[in-house]
Structure 1
Amino acid sequence: MSILSEQSRQQRQTINTLRQALRPYARAGYGPALWQLASTLGAYLALWVLMAILVRYDLPFWLFIVPVAIAAGLLVRLFIFFHDCTHSSFLPSRRGNRIVGYLTGALTFTPFDSWGRAHLVHHGTYGDLDRRGVGDIWTLTVEEYRASPWYRRLGYRLFRNPFVFLGVGPAYQFLVLNRLYVKGQGASERRSVNITNALILVMIGIGGLTVGWKAYLLIQSAVMLTAGTLGVWLFYVQHQFEGGYWARHEEWDPLVAAMKGCSYYKLPKVLQWITGNIGLHHVHHLLPRIPNYRLQECYDEIPALQEVTPLTLRKSLKSLFLNLWDEQRQRLVSFRALRST
């Protein structure tokens, strides 16, 4: 037996052993799921009522800042439930997951089957340099960037600019791209786009008739754009961080991709609650069927998961300046680093 095949065999054994240890946590429950949904949705709707009252009485703008921020955080949390539903991990019932997925998808302006398909592709390809482009952040290698024409380099620099991918990007993604079909989509994905768009129109109609068109559009845009920025940042920092992982397809390993290419974003408890434990992203990638409400328990009880170095809020800010994958040095580097190589 060759050394390479022996290493592959050992890797498969390691993956199977670790995933076997994770399987007991991949059990959804109606109790925790419905409590999460009811409490979060109830608080979100209550904040909407509060903000509508503020608009109705034309109160000062600064009074909106806190309720908009809290509502945006709750919308991010609802998106985590939506995300779990795409993995059929939020509720024990597949049908229940689809119903909740479509509901939370409408609230977050995201079509269930369309987004879910792209996200599942992301899970099967993340960190694979030869299978980029679906459900991930546009990332070039140093060599690809240098070989690109000037207009592609300019477009890439604009895309990776924080003001674009955290400002214009979320608005474009949630308000425009999510309303459209994507090339290669099947009937179920296109149907989910149509259904979600119809549900959004119903919500807009109800909002306009109850709180007024101006009030609805003001509140919805403020909450949606704030939540979109927070959500995109979470997705970005889960895979774009110092010490990340990329490899060519023949060398790509799913266990290494999960343990090295997915961050453990250690957040303060309040933010961890808002983000539905998704900071434990390496655990999620190892076994996506673990519901968000069991990720912390899983992490606490399996020592192998604790070997990943936590990414703190302060350290995560460095990710803003990591733009290209350097295949020679096996690390993400900044545009500035190109000057010295």
Structure 2
Amino acid sequence: MVARPVKFSPAPQEMEQDEDFDASARPPFTIADLRAAIPKHCWERNAWKSMSYVIRDVAIVLALAAAAANMNSWLLWPVYWFAQGTMFWALFVLGHDCGHGSFSHNKTLNSIIGHLTHSAILVPYHGWRISHRTHHQNHGHADNDESWHPVSEKQLKRMDWLARSGRFKLPWVMFVYPMYLWGRTPGKEGSHFDPSSPLFAPSERKDVITSTVCWGAMVALLAGMTVAAGPLWMFKLYFMPYWINVIWLDLVTYLHHHGYEQKVPWYRGKEWSYMRGGLSTIDRDYGLFNNIHHDIGTHVVHHLFPQIPHYHLVEATKAAKPILGKYYREPRKSGPFPVHLLQPLMKSLQEDHFVANEGDVIYHQRDPTI
């Protein structure tokens, strides 16, 4: 059963989409074709180069905190919160690379850097890494995906007002990530901190315990610093940037899996494949933040080939685009600040509410009661 795609009119200056093109059609190319088009050096992982980004980001984080504490001006604190929260998100992306093994060939180094970068921003590294692996293995699958998975019509009817607000209403949808980690989002159960969670296999429980202990150590450190420096100082130096980081995380992950010019197809059963699921993701342009965020906006090639380090994703995407053709959704170009992303975010929240309970190729539909 195939649901007819719903299309939006393109926004001004948006890349024109072929109205006759069906993004859910089986592609005429294979994953091997795409792999062959990407230069071999794009697959090379360099631990020293990866570490240079860690050193850069940590240095910026420390410098921002020192400068803000020294000036201690309420006129400048909001600027600090945004800048530092942006850098917290950059640290998350580096830990994300560790989770994929694209940081280096050394699993021990990946684990150490992953724990340091993620625990610092209250993310349980292994718990997240494992569920994120599930997301990549099932991307685009309406029932098995892990990140911003679609809600079925049955699930939507069972959601209370609080769950609906957290899923579809601003500003709450931009603060949902901590609830996701604790297993409090609709449609998916399982805490990222609990080694007996259904998210994990028995063999992975030791890893989950390790990450939960590291997370707990960071919480204890923050508690000690709050006692020593005072709640107001910790609010200004850490907790406000933490929430800006959460907003970045929710915004980026949401927009990479929700379309605007053309609705993103979701699959079930025999219609789903790894490549078709990966092609349902969307690249986004974040302007001057592309480099700061380690080119996380190049999301299509990352989903198809998560082994590619972030510093090769732009080149790999350029090489793959001639093969992808119309299956590649060209991102709308941004100015210095990606304010253009507010339009697809708002439109998606207004339109993308649920998918049909049945069907192998389906699209988000609108619930007029939301």
Q: Could you state the TM-score of these two structures normalised by the residue count of structure 2?
A: 0.76
Would the aligned equivalents of 1:325 and 1:332 in 2 still touch at CA under 8 Å? yes
1-side partners of 2:181 and 2:225: how far apart? 20
* 2:286 maps to 1:286: no
Would the aligned equivalents of 1:208 and 1:214 in 2 still touch at CA under 8 Å? no
Cα 1:51–1:173 shift into 2, 3 Å: farther
Root-mean-square deviation (CA, aligned residues, Å) is 2.9
1:70-109 alignment to 2 at 5 Å?
70-109=83-122
Would the aligned equivalents of 1:145 and 1:153 in 2 still touch at CA under 8 Å? no
Which residue is equivalent to 1:247?
267
1:23-38 alignment to 2 at 5 Å?
24=40, 25-38=42-55
Quote the offset at 1:46 in angstroms.
Answer: 0.7
Quote the offset at 1:118 in angstroms.
Answer: 0.4
Quote the offset at 1:34 in angstroms.
Answer: 1.8
Which residue is equivalent to 1:324?
354
Question: How many aligned positions are there?
Answer: 315
Quote the offset at 1:173 in angstroms.
Answer: 4.9
2-side partners of 1:32 and 1:244: how far apart? 35
Would the aligned equivalents of 2:77 and 2:236 in 1 still touch at CA under 8 Å? no
* 2:173 maps to 1:144: no
Quote the offset at 1:256 in angstroms.
Answer: 1.4
Cα 1:94–1:15 shift into 2, 3 Å: same
Alignment deviations for residues 178-237 of structure 1 (CA, whole Å, 9 cap, x no partner): 88426134221122111222134235535754x555312332110000111111111111
1-side partners of 2:227 and 2:51: how far apart? 29
What is the identity, as a one-letter code, of the residue corresponding to 1:197? G
Give ranges in structure 2 of 5+ residues lacking alignment: 1-25, 185-190, 333-339
Alignment deviations for residues 45-93 of structure 1 (CA, whole Å, 9 cap, x no partner): 11111222244xxx3x231111111111111111000000001111232
Quote the offset at 1:23 in angstroms.
Answer: 7.3
Cα 1:205–1:179 shift into 2, 3 Å: farther
Would the aligned equivalents of 1:170 and 1:225 in 2 still touch at CA under 8 Å? no
Cα 1:233–1:197 shift into 2, 3 Å: same
Give ranges in structure 1 of 5+ residues lacking alignment: 1-9
Match of 2:217 among 183, 186, 198: 198
Quote the offset at 1:121 in angstroms.
Answer: 0.5
Which fold has the larger relative contact order, with Cα–Cα distance below 8 Å and residues 6 or more apart in sequence? 2
Q: Percent identity?
A: 21
Structure 1 window deviating more from structure 2 (83-92 vs 308-317): it is 308-317
2-side partners of 1:62 and 1:79: how far apart? 27
1:309-320 alignment to 2 at 5 Å?
309-312=329-332, 313-314=340-341, 315-317=343-345, 318-320=347-349
What is the identity, as a one-letter code, of the residue corresponding to 1:281? H
1:1-341 alignment to 2 at 5 Å?
14-22=30-38, 24=40, 25-55=42-72, 59=73, 61-132=74-145, 135-141=146-152, 143-144=153-154, 148-149=157-158, 152=159, 154-160=161-167, 161-167=169-175, 169-170=176-177, 172-173=179-180, 180-181=193-194, 183-184=197-198, 185=200, 186-202=205-221, 204-205=223-224, 209=228, 211-242=229-260, 243-259=263-279, 261-268=280-287, 270-302=288-320, 303-305=322-324, 307=326, 308-312=328-332, 313-314=340-341, 315-317=343-345, 318-321=347-350, 322-325=352-355, 330-336=362-368
Cα 1:91–1:287 shift into 2, 3 Å: same
Would the aligned equivalents of 2:135 and 2:147 in 1 still touch at CA under 8 Å? yes
SS in 1 for 2:364: strand
Quote the offset at 1:98 in angstroms.
Answer: 0.9
Quote the offset at 1:310 in angstroms.
Answer: 2.5
Would the aligned equivalents of 1:19 and 1:286 in 2 still touch at CA under 8 Å? no
Q: Could you state the TM-score of these two structures normalised by the residue count of structure 1?
A: 0.82
Quote the offset at 1:266 in angstroms.
Answer: 2.0
Structure 1 window deviating more from structure 2 (108-117 vs 89-98): it is 89-98
